[in-house]
Amino acid sequence: MPVQLEIITAERVVLSDQVDQINAPTRAGRVGILPRHAPLLTILEAGELDIIKNGERTAFAVSGGFME
């Protein structure tokens, strides 16, 4: 069961996909999200948002925002 990920900016939806893992820079440090994770609402810090899908890593630069 993958994780549904949507990366949205003020202008558009950048990505809408199901992924295996998300690693995000938050105020509390880097947070890893796996399938069936506990509910989470956190503030994103500037850094790399890493996405793992089918064993391949893709990185997106983020300058802030939130993740739920």
Read off the CATH number of the domain in which 57 is found. 2.60.15.10
Separation CA 68–CA 66 (nearest Å): 7
Q: What pLDDT band is residue 1 in, cutting at 50, 70 and 90?
A: confident
Domain count, the chain: 1
The pLDDT tens digits for 23-37 are 999 999 999 999 999
Token reading at 7: 């990366």
Q: What single-letter amino acid sits at 51?
A: I
Output the pLDDT for position 9.
93
pTM here is 0.89
CA distances from 1 to 17, 20, 51, 66, 68 (A): 13, 8, 15, 23, 18
Residue 65 pLDDT > 90, yes or no?
yes
Range of the domain at 60: 3-34+44-67
* Strands in 1-68 per DSSP E: 3-8, 13-19, 21-26, 29-33, 42-44, 47-53, 56-62, 65-67
- The arithmetic mean of pLDDT across residues 41-49, rounded, is 97
Q: Is residue 39 part of a domain?
A: no
- The arithmetic mean of pLDDT across residues 46-67, rounded, is 97
